[in-house]
């Protein structure tokens, strides 16, 4: 059951990252994701843009080094899922690849610099990244664990961590990119 939950999430992530829509992940897809993130308001701040680009480069390097089993410079779906489980989500890599993106991303989308994401900031952010606002509105409700109408940095990091690491099919973080499938 645990593998099934993570495989579902990693399949969703693969589809989101496959910017070329060719069924493979490449360095170009990861650069395109960084461009999408830095196109958000606040993303043009040099420290945010650099942090995002560096983190996406780190993530791609980890994926390629540990997952490109046929040496073609790209990852198919199964290579991606395998390397996500075996390498990217290990504690030594998760912080520098995934959470580094989450932290820079939070700084970008916290447009009023209050240290939280309002529902509007959250929905606008994910709408700009191609996630249906109906899904992100529902996700926001689930991720706002203390019910105060905003997501703190800690709540956002918890959601990211659950999405990538939790085996619990009912974890609120599973909704990060839309309803679990």
**Domain contains 180:** no
Describe the crossing of helices 100-109 and 153-165 by its angle, rounded to 10 degrees: 140
CATH number, domain containing residue 31 = 1.10.238.10
pLDDT one-digit tens code per residue, 92-106:
889 888 998 898 888
% of the chain residues with pLDDT over 90: 54
Which residues form the domain of 87? Answer: 2-175
CA angle, corner 128, sides to 55 and 40, nearest 5? Answer: 55
Task: Provide the pLDDT confidence category of residue 1 given band limits of 50, 70 and 90.
Answer: very low
**Domain contains 144:** yes
The set of residues, in sequence order, having a beta carbon less than 8 Å from that of 89 and lying 6+ positions away, is: 98, 164, 165
pLDDT one-digit tens code per residue, 34-93:
999 899 888 888 888 898 899 899 999 999 999 999 999 999 999 999 999 999 888 888
Rg (CA), the chain: 15
Report the mean per-residue pLDDT for the chain: 90
Return the pLDDT at 74. Answer: 97
Q: Which two tokens stand for residue 24?
A: 């493979």
Residue 155 has pLDDT above 90, yes or no: yes
Nearest CA to 56 out of 26, 76, 92 is that of: 26
**Domain contains 181:** no
Counted domains in the chain:
1
Helices (H), 119-172: 119-128, 133-143, 153-165
Indicate yes or no: pTM above 0.85.
yes
Task: Provide the pLDDT confidence category of residue 17 given band limits of 50, 70 and 90.
Answer: very high
**Domain contains 63:** yes
Count of alpha carbons within 13 Å of 8, Cβ hemisphere only? 19
């Amino acid at each position: 059951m645990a593998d099934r939950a993570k495989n579902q999430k990693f399949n969703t992530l693969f589809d989101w990252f496959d910017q070329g829509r060719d069924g493979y992940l490449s360095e170009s897809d990861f650069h395109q994701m960084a461009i999408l993130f830095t196109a958000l308001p606040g993303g043009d701040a040099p420290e945010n843009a650099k942090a995002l680009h560096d983190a996406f480069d780190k993530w791609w390097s980890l994926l390629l080094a540990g997952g490109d089993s046929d040496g073609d410079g790209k990852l198919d779906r199964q290579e991606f899922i395998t390397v996500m489980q075996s390498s990217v989500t290990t504690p030594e890599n998760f912080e520098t690849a995934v959470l580094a993106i989450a932290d820079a991303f939070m700084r970008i989308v916290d447009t009023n610099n209050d240290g939280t994401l309002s529902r509007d900031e959250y929905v606008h952010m994910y709408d700009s990244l191609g996630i249906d606002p109906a899904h992100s509105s529902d996700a926001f409700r689930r991720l706002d664990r203390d019910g105060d109408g905003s997501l703190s940095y800690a709540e956002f990091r918890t959601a990211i961590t659950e999405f990538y690491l939790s085996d619990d099919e009912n974890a609120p973080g599973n909704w990060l990119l839309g309803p679990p499938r």
